[in-house]
Amino acid sequence: MKTYIVVLVISLIAFAGCKKDYPVDEDGLLITTRAECYVSNFELLGTDFVTVLSKAPVIDTVAQTINAQVVYGADLKNLYPQFTLVTDAKLDPKITGKVDFSDLANPKVYTVVSGDRKVRKPYTVYLTVQSR
């Protein structure tokens, strides 16, 4: 009988300790107190998952722009963008696969959302193609 009571008490303590103390967003990500909101790195991969950038991108966190140059001949309709964000931030819209960057006149806009989910900063990705 003592064993049963001990197991019951331990189970109740464990169950009480499992309650959700931390808020999560609609994606199941932890909402924190961090208000920082910026892109620290950007990469663009082709269908073979090798970079198509001809040089390092220029990320302006004040103007909220990313200027990147891709190699001549890159398939702009099938690229995989990768963003490195400040801790706890997330990207909107989510990148779920290939992205079409072929319309260079209409650059893509991605919004960085802070860890506390209160600050939203849109970053515009401008691509140019390296000349021959």
- Helical (H) or strand (E) element with 16: helix 2-17
Question: Domains of the chain (ranges plus CATH)?
Answer: 22-129 (2.60.40.2340)
Task: Enumerate residues 6+ apart whose C-beta is below 8 A from 67.
Answer: 57, 58, 60, 126, 128
**What does the pLDDT read at residue 17?**
53
Task: Enumerate residues 6+ apart whose C-beta is below 8 A from 113.
Answer: 37, 89, 90, 91, 92, 119, 120
Which pLDDT tens digit goes with each residue over 23-35? 999 988 999 999 9
Checking if the pLDDT of 1 tops 80, the result is no
Confidence category of residue 11, pLDDT binned at 50, 70, 90: low
Q: How far apart are CA 40 and CA 91, in angstroms?
A: 13
Tokens of 69: 């140059």
SS3 64: coil
Checking if the pLDDT of 4 tops 80, the result is no
**What does the pLDDT read at residue 103?**
97
pTM: 0.81
Checking if the pLDDT of 12 tops 60, the result is no
Q: Where does residue 86 fall: left (phi above 0), alpha (psi -120 to 50 degrees), or beta otherwise? A: beta
Confidence category of residue 13, pLDDT binned at 50, 70, 90: low
Which pLDDT tens digit goes with each residue over 72-125? 999 999 999 999 999 999 999 999 999 999 999 999 999 999 999 999 999 999
Residue 81: phi, psi to the nearest 5? Answer: -75, 145
Residue 65: phi, psi to the nearest 5? Answer: -130, 155
